[in-house]
Amino acid sequence: MKPGKVCRLLRAALVALVASPMPATAQTAACAAASTQAELNDCSAQRYREADARLNQVYSQLRARLRDPRQRSLLEEAERAWIAYRDRECAFETSGTVGGSLHPMMQATCLYEKTTIRLAELTRQRNCKEADPSCVH
C-alpha cells in the first residue's frame, strides 16, 4: 500500500475513533493521545468491545420484551445472520490491509461501524411506541 494512502487511512480511522457518537470514557481520552500503531489498535479494539457490549445489552432487552416465541426466534435468526454479514463484510472491507500493522485497527473500526448501525436498529425496535406499525409488538 502506498504511504500516502496509509496516512489517509490512519487519519480517517483516528477521526472515526475519536469523533464517534459513543459516550466519552477515560479510554477515549487516552485514545485521543494515542501515537503508536499499537495504541491505535488497542483503542480501536476497546471501542468495538464497548459498542458490542451495548449491542448485547439492547438485544437482550428487546428479546425479553418480545412475548411471541415466533418473534423471538425471528430476532435470533436475524441476529445470527447479521453477525455472519458483519464478519464477512469486515473481512472484505479490510482485505487490503491483511498482514500489516494497520489491519487490527481497520478490522476493529469496521466492526465498530457495523455494530453501531445495528445498535441503532435494535434500539429503535426496543424503544418503539406501541402504536407504531413499523415496530415489532
Domain of 41, CATH number, reads 1.20.1270.180
Q: State the pLDDT confidence band at 132, using cuts at 50, 70 and 90.
A: confident
Q: Exposure pattern of 18-52 as b/e (b: 16+ CB <10 Å)?
A: beeeeeeeeebeebeebeeeeebbbbbbbbbebbb
Segment 58-81 mean pLDDT: 96
pLDDT of residue 33: 82
Range of the domain at 41: 3-126
pLDDT at 35: 84
Number of domains the chain contains:
1
pTM above 0.85, yes or no: no
Please tell me the distance from the alpha carbon of residue 6 to that of residue 30, in angstroms, as a whole number.
Answer: 22
Would the pLDDT of 127 be above 70? yes
Is the pLDDT at 120 greater than 80, yes or no?
yes
Mind listing the pLDDT tens digit for each residue in 10-66?
A: 444 444 443 444 455 566 667 888 888 989 999 999 999 999 999 999 999 999 999
- Does residue 136 lie in a domain region? no
Measured distance CA(72)–CA(94) in Å, rounded: 33
